[in-house]
Amino acid sequence: MKKAINLTLSLVLGLFLFSCEGETTTETTESADTSVTDEMEASGAYTLVESESMLAWEGNMLKVGGVSLYGHEGTIDFQKGMMTLEDGKIVDGTFVVDMSTITPTDDSYQPEEGKTPEKLVGHLSSADFFAVDSFPTATFQVTGMEEGKIMGDMTIRGVTNAETIENVTMETMDGKVKATGSMTLDRQKYNVAWSNPAEDKVLSDDLELEFTIVASADEAM
């Protein structure tokens, strides 16, 4: 009987300690999740560091139950960019990406069937999609920032629409500012559509983008 009581007490004590540890972990996590943006006080003009910045993209076939059976992903290089900060918020800025640098990074290819990364890039660069020869760059012009969102005007294929970068985080690092965020674009709004309507319908209209922007402070004149 004493062994049974001791075992019961041990279990209760273990559960109590586990519960306390869980509460402590939760509090720590919540503290760590505090928006870095709210704590920043950086102000002034910043210039994009292209080699440390990146735009990642993902496109899929039509999703069923939120799951896509086939898709591609990759990166596009920034060509240039600048932004102005006031008390840690981006109040103005322009970011330009070089559409000729579309680079697939996934493995969804069948070379034996002629489906290669090079063929994908050629198709994405054609008039069916981004018409890179006619529109070599895409631009995002910042119009404001609030509560972890950056609002602005996106221009693709010469078409401009208001868009929002969501889930924005910002931090200072080695005299630079790093900002990350994500955006979902409706490609149809920018005339990014396959000329064959039947085939275009099997593609998701959503184009998922993730931004990593690193910029350094301009030297005072």
Between the alpha carbon of residue 152 and those of residues 54, 69, 102, 208, the distances in Å are 18, 32, 22, 17
Q: Which helix (H) or strand (E) holds 85?
A: strand 78-86
17 and 69 inside one domain? no
Tokens of 171: 């931090």
Would you say the C-alpha torsion 193, 198, 199, 205 has a positive or negative sign? positive
95 and 111 inside one domain? yes
Between 91 and 13, residue with greater pLDDT = 91
63 and 163 inside one domain? yes
- For residue 143, the model assigns a pLDDT of 96
- For residue 34, the model assigns a pLDDT of 32
Q: Which helix (H) or strand (E) holds 10?
A: helix 2-32
3 and 55 inside one domain? no
209 and 149 inside one domain? yes
- Under the banding of pLDDT at 50, 70 and 90, the label for residue 15 is very low
Domain residue limits at 195: 36-217
Tokens of 181: 């965020």
83 and 188 inside one domain? yes
125 and 188 inside one domain? yes
Rounded-to-10 torsion of CA 23, 29, 35, 39 = 80
22 and 43 inside one domain? no
Number of domain units in the chain: 2
94 and 112 inside one domain? yes
15 and 66 inside one domain? no
Name, in order, each residue with C-beta under 8 angstroms of 68's C-beta and a sequence gap of 6 or more.
60, 61, 62, 204
Q: What is the pLDDT of residues 100-132, one digit of tens each?
A: 999 999 988 889 888 899 999 999 999 999 999
Report the amino acid identity of residue 37: T
- Under the banding of pLDDT at 50, 70 and 90, the label for residue 67 is low
8 and 87 inside one domain? no
Distance between CA atoms of 70 and 61, rounded to whole angstroms?
Answer: 6
Residues found in the chain: 221
CB atoms within 10 A of CB 176: 15
Phi, psi for 55 (deg, rounded to 5): -120, 120
Distance between CA atoms of 47 and 215, rounded to whole angstroms?
Answer: 5
CA nearest 100: which of 140, 58, 130?
Answer: 130
* Whole-number percent of the chain with pLDDT over 70: 76
CB atoms within 10 A of CB 49: 16
102 and 205 inside one domain? yes
Between the alpha carbon of residue 107 and those of residues 11, 64, 114, the distances in Å are 49, 21, 14
* Highest mean pLDDT (candidates 35-39, 62-66, 181-185): 181-185
Q: What CATH number corresponds to the domain at position 60?
A: 2.40.128.110
Distance between CA atoms of 184 and 202, rounded to whole angstroms?
Answer: 18
Between the alpha carbon of residue 81 and those of residues 37, 48, 120, 149, the distances in Å are 20, 5, 27, 18
